Amino acid sequence: MSGPESVAFDCKGHGPYAGISDGRIIKWEGRTKGWTEFAITSPHRPRFCDGHDNPANEQYCGRPLGLKFDMRTCELYIADSSMGLMKVGSRGGVATPVSTGVAGVPFRFLNALDIDSDSGVIYFTDTSTKYHRWEYVRAMRSFDHTGRLLKYDPRTKSVSVLMDGLAFANGVALSEKKDFVLIAETTASQIRRLWLAGPKAGTSEIFVKLNGRPDNINRNKKGEFWVAQNPSKPVKLNQFGEIIESLATPMIVDASDVLEFRNSIWIGSVIQRYLHYSL
């Protein structure tokens, strides 16, 4: 595999699943079968896509970044940087579009998502309205501030903009009580919090400043947040934005995703050729 950006497990606890650089979503089927193809995001996928590692091909092959299963329906939702917000059923196959743009602006660089397990509402990030994913170096060097936090409501099938003007909007995670959502601003080396409920609803603030560049964010069962960083090591935050743990190990390089699942840690990397797993 190449570039497993994020990690997911389905509603039965099977997996892991990972989206890789050639546009496929693959699933671990155990030591006998190994990794198998689960889904693709490009409906007219050219033959040259399989096994490619050329970012310029993402516009044809797709590039699945954020992955999350809706635990109510067992559907996999995908933030594909080129194809938009998509979903595929529990048996996999060709994913179908949920949304390809909002407010007249087509998606160029969708990145991460999280799902409200009660309502099915999806919170997802659009890293830039100016640059595509394969232009991420230019986006970072120019300190692009066109990133957005978006919301998809499955009841109305509509997408709305919750925040804009974000600095390389990246990882997103909903709080345990669903009263706020966190958004990683990679080039600003910070995580921002948007309040969804309570007296501060609709307002945002800096949740934490970090030494590295934050990528994906995942909440564990205790309500804590794992944050992948580059080039710094992944850290775990409490609900107050305090660092309570750091994965300081030389084996973890270029982490883009840290997922705690059944007392194990799974670490993905958008540029490496492996998933790191530890008990």
- pTM score: 0.96
* pLDDT value of position 248: 78
Reported CATH class of domain 82-278: mainly beta
Residues 6+ apart with CB under 8 A from 256: 5, 6, 215, 216, 228, 230, 268, 269, 270, 271
Please provide the average confidence, as pLDDT, over all residues in the chain.
Answer: 94
Render 36-47 in DSSP notation, one character per residue.
Answer: EEEEES-TT--G
pLDDT tens for each residue of 1-41 = 788 999 999 999 999 999 999 999 999 999 999 999 999 99
Q: Strands 93-94 and 35-40: what pairing?
A: parallel
pLDDT tens for each residue of 107-155 = 999 999 999 999 999 999 999 999 999 999 999 999 999 999 999 999 9
Domain boundaries, the chain: 82-278
Residues 6+ apart with CB under 8 A from 33: none
Collapsing DSSP to helix, strand or coil, 142 comes out as coil
Q: Which two tokens stand for residue 61?
A: 């092959």
